[in-house]
Amino acid sequence: MKKPIISILKSSFVVSSLALSCDALAALAVFPSGHLGDLDISTHQLTQAAANSDVQSYTSNPDLDSAAWGHLGSWWTFHTHMAKSTTITATGIGDIAPGFTVWRTDGLFDGGTGDAFEISTASKGVPHSFNQVGNPGDFGTIWMTDDSLSTAMPGQNGLAAQGILETIGYANDGPAQAQNGWGASIASDGNRNGIASLTFDSIMHGDYLIFVGGADGSLSGGTIDLAVSQVPVPGAVYLFGTAIFGLLASSRRRQAD
Amino acid sequence: MPAFPLFRKQIALIALSSSWLIASNIASANEFHPLPMGLQDMQVPEVPGLLDGADPVIIDKEKAIILGKALFWDTNIGSDGMACGSCHFHAGADSRTKNQLSPGGKSTDISDQIFDDSLSGQSMGANHNLRAGDFPFHQRATPLDKNSAVIHDSDDVVSSAGPFTGQYHGSQRSQTSYDDCEWMDDPVFNVNLITTRQVQLRNTPTVINAIFNHRSFWDGRANNIFNGSSPWGDRDPEAGVWVKESARSVVKQRLRLINSSLASQALAPPLSSNEMSCKGRSFPDIGRKILSRQPLESQKVHYQDSVLGPLSYSDASQQLPGLQTTYARLIKQAFNPKYWSYRYRGPFGRPATGGLAYSQLEANFSMFFGLAIQMYESTLISDQSRFDLSARDEKGLPIDLTPSELNGLALFRENACVSCHTGPNFSLASIRANVEFNKLHPETFGIGSYRINPTPNVVNTTLFSSHNGFIDTGFAATGVTKDADDIGTGGVDIFGNPLSFSAQYLQFLVGNTSRVIDAEVRDVRPCDFQEAFAINFILPFPQDALFTPGDGVKPQTQSTENCFNIYTAYLPTEEAALAELESDHNTKMVHASNAAFKIPSLRNIELTGPYMHNGGMATLEEVIEFYTRGGNFNGPTKQSEKVFPLGALFNSEQNRKDLVAFLKTLTDDRVRYEKAPFDHPEIRVPHGHVGDVAEVEGGNPLSPALAKDEYLLIEAVGAHGRSKDDPLLPFDAYLAP
């Protein structure tokens, strides 16, 4: 049931101040499935077989208006020591179409903090449903946005102590979605070949988060293997320049072919 | 762009409140899902006024349990040899395989109410002997694949054979066990026009651990409140019991015992013409038939029966039938005299078939029967399975289980099974017991965003196909059969009221309080809903399933103490609710009760097949296949966020095996071997008719036009149970190959 999306302007709803009534333990919203590893001089590839096996956890669940299903997709962290060309590939084994989003995080992602005010067009709250293609601070990501960043809600910072700092990119082997329950559309890589992949010329060193899942609920099922790899570079290269961020433009999403 | 009113609000997080903040040694990586726990600490919900207070209904609990156990197993209760135990004898359920088929009697379309062919192409019908190849009743070419073609679907039901069809004319007070009935031809249950025993319309659930459930029957119609004379609680305006006020004065009063759905349930089968009775019998009639008799007068009682042994005639050298008392005496010992000691017969009516007017003892027999059965069933708690007895590590995991079984437990938690099969009794239907258990072990219900709120609300919100909406707590539509095959909780009671509490709650919201007949519906507290229903702040998107200030909301009337979600402590104004309910595009005032059934406990599930409300799956493997493919049908009320294709099971045969292995750890060996309290007297259960599905013999002692019975003789078992080489087996072990 599609309704016209009101653009998310800061003035369209008001929250005067946020009373963060936190207990000592964060209210964990999701938990990482695991840490893929650290990419450094000696380790150039991290792999995870069967990183996820749900056919509609990344997108394409009509009950969520195609938002991501936070409890059903899988969350994987990795760390890179160097700024270099990095490729992330999700490969479907069997009848499954993968999709994933990558974020840079403030330390290892702590799972975020659920909140009561992020509710999607399908009337589902976070993280059961969340905005898999939003920038940090967008509606549907506030629960996982780092507390150092301000958000779409005035006076409000992100809710995660170790949350997302920037959205690096996403890849979707499933069909395109006109809207994802949070006001954004999701493009498809168009080739439906069972592989979703992103390559960045260079990403800064630090911690990263991948959410991976299936992107086509009509398929019968399979598993998704995940791989993060960096091209080994001769040591001399490190003398030149600084890292180039593979940042996305704020209004467009860049996809690898 | 529409202008939204500006609200200055403080919005805080859902923070973990201290009442369910648990120690960090339980909270560790991957274990935020609800954690099933042992049943030992689960309390039976109390029944104020039953045993306690200045003037309790039951004055001798032990006698009441003896009475209840005897009544449960006594074949004199039925018109033609049926007892409660005739259908609840195998781990509390029914493992019979012959003449157990019913042709989809709940189907809306009358033309569907015929026997279907089986999966293997055999014609099935009355007196059919079930075979493994008949199952499952819905099958796919590739069972694990949700996209695979349907190769077979039947609305037939595996249930329990009951009485022959008859019209009640009377009964004897002694000796003759069978009622005097005019036996009738049955148009459905016959083989070549020789009438066979009828078969009920839904699979028989187990009575073991049923005491924890808030409502009973698959459709919840046995009310939590026992009114003394019918299963309907407050819904029945005529219900009541006779109370002696003085030597010359007796009045009919309403009875209202809460947490007594088993007493409510017990009043249905003995009068049901396809479960135990000829048509037109009443409870006072049953009372008259048995009050002067010895309990179990023709059924052997083991001298070591944990409840009945002391009263039996048996000893170590021989087993003898009967107890050394009468039903009348037991009732008088167990129950408050004000319910039976009035000396005159005037006010209580007389039998429809003629004879002496009823006594008070006969007139209140329904109350004695229901409460005694409930007292006995409240002892049937199986809290000594391997899962219960296992030691637990600091995470609360049962470490005595094998790695396979532990993987099965992990899969059970991670694949949404635990979101309906929640709590120590593995069911959200155990509403009040879960609320109390949560105070001891909150981690049972999960942590953070994985938490399933153990609410006292009898109505909850849920996510179902493309909607948020209401569902009766403890009920769910999982897509086993087509909606038209059985409407479940979406049905109505004999007064025309909806069975569904959610339907009543919608009426409550619009202000039609006269349509709210179950009082506890009014106590529903919105801030405890699992999913938001009404909020008091504006969202950037119009909502199709939430009431917001733009629609019109008001604060809840109840206090906000210990709210699950303080921001949902609102409900729509009556005007907003009514506008939505009457709108052509109503998406907020909806409920998911159609084709919803009570969530069963999984305890002893190894032994209580066949499975589901229609008995359409014979093995646990078939059940796992059903859930792996995400159910059989995607109807409009299916709980699609809890029943969906499961990748972890689809991709791994080992995972499927492990999940079955875990489920088998829930079997209590005392149930398997019928040790106390699961011991029982002898009972002879009709099991098919001489012949087969093509031919039977007439000449039943009841009437020449009725088919001759075959019987299953279940021997009396004492507290020490069955012999070690003779345990109860799973249902599929009894099927023909």
Q: What is the pLDDT of residues B61-103, one digit of tens each?
A: 999 999 999 999 999 999 999 999 999 999 999 999 999 999 9
CA distances to A63, A121, A178, B206, B464 from B641, in Å? 8, 16, 22, 27, 6
- Residue type, position B380, single letter: L
Q: How far is CA A201 from CA A78, A170, A236, in A?
A: 17, 15, 17
- For residue B514, with 0-12 CB atoms within 10 Å meaning exposed, 13-18 middle and 19 or more buried, which class applies? exposed
Nearest to A237 by CA among A197, A201, A198: A201
Q: What pLDDT is attached to residue A7?
A: 35
Record: contact B641-A63, CB cut-off 8 A? yes
d(CA B463, CA B641): 6
Cβ–Cβ gap A29/B449 under 8 Å: yes
Cα separation, A75 vs A213, in Å, equals 9
Integer Cα distance of B105 and B115 in angstroms: 10
Structure tokens given for B108: 């809306």
Question: What tokens were used for A72?
Answer: 């059903």
H-type helices in B360-478, by residue range? 360-363, 365-377, 386-389, 403-414, 431-440
- The better pLDDT of the pair A13, B152 is held by B152
Residue-level pLDDT at B575: 98
The whole-angstrom separation of Cα B13 and Cα A112 is 12
Cβ <8 Å between B13 and A139? no
Q: Which residues of B touch A145 (CB under 8 A)?
A: none
Residues of A in contact with B453 (CB under 8 A): none
SS3 sequence of B248-270: CEEEEECCCECCCHHHHHHCCHH
Q: How many Cβ pairs closer than 8 A exist between chain A and B?
A: 174
Q: Which residues of A touch B647 (CB under 8 A)?
A: 52-55, 96, 214, 221-223
CA distances from B97 to A74, B102, B160, B199, B201 (A): 45, 12, 9, 12, 15
Sign of the dihedral defined by the CA atoms of residues A98, A99, A101, A102, in that order: positive
Given B9, B531, B541, which is nearest A6 (Cβ)?
B541
By three-state DSSP, how is residue B639 classified? coil
Closest chain B residue to A31, measured at CA: B30
Half-sphere exposure of B407 (CA within 13 A, CB side): 14
pLDDT for the residue numbered B30: 59
For the stretch A53-86, pLDDT in tens is 999 999 999 999 999 999 999 999 999 997 788 9
Nearest to A220 among B147, B535, B644 (CB): B147
C-alpha–C-alpha distance, residues B601 and B19, integer Å: 27
DSSP state of B62: H
* pLDDT value of position A245: 42
- pLDDT below 50 — which residues of chain B? 1-29
- Sequence-ordered alpha helix ranges (H) in B679-731: none
Q: What share of chain B is helix, strand, coil (3-state, %, to 5)?
A: 25, 15, 60
Residue A231 is predicted with a pLDDT of 83
- The tokens for B24 are 């960090």
**The tokens of B385 are what?**
């399975």
Of A18, A119, A221, the CB nearest to B539: A119
Q: Angle at the Cα of B153 (from B119 to B160), degrees rounded to 5?
A: 75
Q: Extract the tokens encoding B321.
A: 């039938």
The number of angstroms, rounded, from the C-alpha of B571 to the middle of its chain's C-alpha atoms is 31
C-alpha distances (whole Å) from B129 to each of A171, A246, B691 are 56, 69, 10
The interaxial angle of helices B501-509 and B574-582, nearest 10 deg, is: 120
Residue A81 burial (CB count, 10 A): 13
A246–chain B nearest CA distance, Å:
30
Contact B11/A15, CB-based, under 8 Å?
yes
**What is the separation of C-alpha A46 from the centre of its chain, rounded to a whole number of angstroms?**
18
Q: Please, what sign has the CA dihedral across residues B714, B720, B725, B730?
A: positive
Is there a contact between B70 and B384 (Cβ–Cβ < 8 Å)?
Answer: no
Chain B, 642 to 671: residues with Cβ < 8 Å from chain A are 644-645, 647-648, 650-651
- CA-CA distance, B245 to A109, in Å (whole number)? 71
Question: Half-sphere exposure (CA, 13 Å, Cβ side) for B367?
Answer: 31
Q: Are B673 and B712 in contact (CB under 8 A)?
A: no
Helices (H), B629-731: 647-650, 653-664, 669-672
Bridge partners, B385 (sequence order): B668
Interface touch A221/B650, C-beta < 8 Å: yes
Rounded to 5 degrees, φ, ψ at A138 are -70, 155
C-alpha torsion B407→B413→B416→B418, nearest 10: 120
Listed residue (B451, B432, B405) closest to B212, CA to CA: B432
Return the bridge partners of B183, or none.
B166
Q: Which of B4, B10, B13 to mutate to test the interface with A (most CBs of A within 10 A)?
A: B13
- Cβ pair A114:B12 closer than 8 A: no
What residues in B contact A54, CB-CB < 8 Å? 645, 647
CA B424, CA B532: separation in Å to the nearest integer? 26
CB contacts, 8 Å: A221 with chain B: 144-146, 645, 647, 650-651
Three-state SS string over B125-136 comes to: CCCCECEHHHCC
Q: Which residues contact B725 (CB under 8 A, 6 or more apart)?
A: none
Q: Can you tell me the distance from the alpha carbon of A4 to that of B540, in angstroms, rounded to the nearest whole number?
A: 11
Phi, psi at B374, each rounded to 5°? -65, -40
Rounded CA-CA distance A128/A171 in Å is: 21
Listed residue (B431, B442, B507, B443) closest to B475, CA to CA: B431
Q: Which residues of B touch A125 (CB under 8 A)?
A: 531-532
**Which pLDDT belongs to residue A257?**
39
How big is the CA angle at A186 (ends B461 and B550), to the nearest 5 degrees? 40
Strand A98-105: give its sheet, edge to edge. Answer: A34-39, A74-80, A206-214, A98-105, A164-172
Extract the tokens encoding B580.
Answer: 């939505």
Name the nearest CA neighbour of A9 among B549, B12, B13, B4: B4
Mean pLDDT along residues A234-251: 47
Chain A residues inside the 8 Å CB shell of B146: 220-221
A19–B10 C-beta distance less than 8 A = yes
Nearest-by-CA chain A residue for B586: A1
Our CA angle for A48, A49, A54, nearest 5°, is: 110
> Band of the pLDDT at A235, cuts 50, 70, 90?
low
Q: What is the DSSP letter of A122?
A: T
Cross-strand partners of B249: B246
C-beta atoms of B541 and A5 within 8 A: yes
The two three-digit tokens of residue B305, written as one number: 């029966």
Quote the pLDDT of residue A23: 37
For chain A, percent helix, then strand, then coil, each to nearest 5? Answer: 5, 35, 60
Cβ atoms B707, B700 nearer than 8 A: yes
Q: What is the pLDDT of residue A27?
A: 62
Q: How far is CA B243 from CA B123, B249, B335, B342, in A?
A: 55, 9, 12, 8
Q: What single-letter amino acid sits at B710?
A: E
In chain B, residues 24-83 whose CB comes closer than 8 Å to chain A: 24, 27, 29-30, 32
> What does pTM read for this prediction?
0.92
